[in-house]
């Protein structure tokens, strides 16, 4: 994989015009564009086709979490939309994960196209040990243990990988092996502002730890020259 393909640009804007402006500029310098609930809900699903038409690939970050039949049907829609990646909550359970993995494969076969990469979100990084025990009522396990167990469950269910914090990469890579895709946010090159991210990792360090893809937003979006920022990140990864 080329260094540029590892960058997933988080299109955290709510105007389609602004988002597509970034796609036009940056499609040659990043691997995919992440559409979160902010952009998806303001632009609608056609944003995926527009990104594809501009030579980009789309990661639909809507974190599906519902009964198996509903998430399986949403997975078929994602496949028909021709997105590159989408994600679901591992907390939806084994049946939900198996069902979406099966429906996506079936729909892709029916259409004769490649299946999107399905990623699981394990424990949100905003949930600490206290929230896990006192709010989610999961006791007897450390957050890190739940993260690894849910990553393993996702793998067993047939998902392609997970989205996780850089701090969890090493444990997930060790448990789930080299073919399991690891996508990580919380990335900051040394030259860029941390913004509201507290524990950050550089692109080179995330790569060394075993990440396949990194989600990067403001270091590129808010840079004086976004193309130069993306090129600098690529160079820093290539120096490894």
Does residue 166 bind ligand C5P (CB under 6 A)?
Answer: no
142 is catalytic: no
Q: Pick between residue 76 and residue 218 the one whose CB is nearest to ligand C5P.
A: 218
| Rg of the chain in Å (alpha carbons) | 17
Q: Retrieve residue 55's tokens.
A: 């030579």
Does residue 215 bind ligand C5P (CB under 6 A)?
Answer: yes
Give the residue, chosen from 186, 189, 203, 226, that forms a contact with ligand C5P under the rule CB under 6 A: 186
Q: Pick between residue 58 and residue 216 the one whose CB is nearest to ligand C5P.
A: 216
Locate the DSSP E strands across 2-128. Answer: 7-10, 32-35, 58-64, 85-89, 117-121
Query: Could you give the angle at the alpha carbon of 156 between the alpha carbons of 155 and 160, nearest 5°?
Result: 30
Q: Retrieve residue 117's tokens.
A: 């990469």
Residue 147 region, left (φ>0) first, then alpha (ψ -120 to 50), else beta?
A: alpha
CB of 65: closest distance to ligand C5P in angstroms?
A: 15
Does residue 31 bind ligand C5P (CB under 6 A)?
Answer: no
Does residue 76 bind ligand C5P (CB under 6 A)?
Answer: no
Does residue 125 bind ligand C5P (CB under 6 A)?
Answer: yes
Query: Counting every residue, how long is the chain?
Result: 240
Does residue 203 bind ligand C5P (CB under 6 A)?
Answer: no
Binding site for ligand C5P (CB under 6 A): 10, 12, 36, 125, 165, 185-186, 195, 197, 215-218
């Amino acid at each position: 994989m080329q260094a540029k393909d590892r960058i997933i640009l988080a299109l955290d804007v709510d105007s389609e015009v602004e988002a597509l402006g970034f796609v036009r500029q940056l499609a040659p310098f990043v691997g995919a564009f992440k559409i979160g609930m902010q952009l998806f809900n303001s632009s609608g699903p056609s944003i995926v086709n527009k990104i594809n038409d501009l030579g980009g690939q789309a990661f639909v970050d809507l974190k599906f979490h519902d009964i198996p039949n509903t998430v399986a049907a949403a997975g078929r829609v994602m496949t028909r939309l021709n997105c590159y990646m989408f994600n679901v909550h591992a907390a939806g359970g084994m049946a939900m994960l198996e069902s979406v993995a099966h429906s996506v494969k079936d729909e892709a076969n029916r259409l004769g196209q490649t299946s999107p990469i399905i990623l699981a979100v394990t424990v949100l990084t905003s949930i600490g040990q206290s929230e896990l025990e006192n709010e989610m009522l999961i006791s007897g396990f450390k957050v890190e243990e739940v993260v690894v167990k849910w990553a393993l469950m996702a793998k067993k269910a047939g998902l392609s990988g997970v989205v996780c914090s850089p701090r969890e990469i090493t444990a997930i890579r060790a448990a789930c092996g080299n073919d399991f895709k690891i996508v990580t946010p919380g990335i900051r090159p040394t030259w860029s502002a941390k913004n509201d991210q507290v524990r950050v990792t550089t692109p080179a360090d995330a790569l060394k730890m075993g990440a396949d893809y990194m989600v990067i937003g403001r270091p590129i979006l808010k840079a004086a020259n976004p193309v130069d920022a993306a090129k600098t990140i690529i160079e820093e990864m290539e120096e490894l």
